Structure formats: structure tokens, C-alpha cells
Amino acid sequence: MTTPSPISPPSEESWRRAQHAGRTKWSAPAAYAVVLMDESGSPTSVVGTFPGPMSAEMYGRIVGADFRVVRVNPSSPPP
């Protein structure tokens, strides 16, 4: 198999396969929400969403309250 280049461009079939794989794998990136918790452990509010778990964790520590970091899907509507 040759590497695509201007001299040997990718075939139409491999191009379609790559496009389809891209749509299914990366269609909805995950985000992470910081959820504040009360004394009994129940969620009270979402204070922010972040692109990665580490940034969400850092924000929760800065706020200084009881919190949890929860993975969310930004493309799905809330219930």
C-alpha cells in the first residue's frame, strides 16, 4: 500500500471510509462538569463545564466546596 501524496492521491473508497470513521468516532466530544454537593451528598448545582477532567478538578479545588467531576455529553439535551 502506498502513502497518499500529490502523485498518488487516496482512492475514493479509502477517503469515504476515513470520513465515515471520523464521523462515528469523534461526533460528540465529552466534557466534564463540576457538580457541587451538599452535606448529605446530594447534588445542588453545576458550576461549570470543562474540556478535560483535570481542569474540572482544579476548578473544584479552587472553589473549595464539596464537589464531583462528572463526564457529560454536550450534544445530548438535558432530560
Residue ranges per structural domain of the chain: 28-79
Sheet holding 67-72, edge to edge: 43-50, 31-37, 67-72
Residue 35: the pLDDT is 92
What's the whole-model pTM score?
Answer: 0.55
**What are 26-74's pLDDT values in tens digits?**
555 678 999 999 999 889 998 888 988 899 999 989 988 899 999 887 6
Per-residue confidence band for 7, with pLDDT thresholds at 50, 70 and 90: low
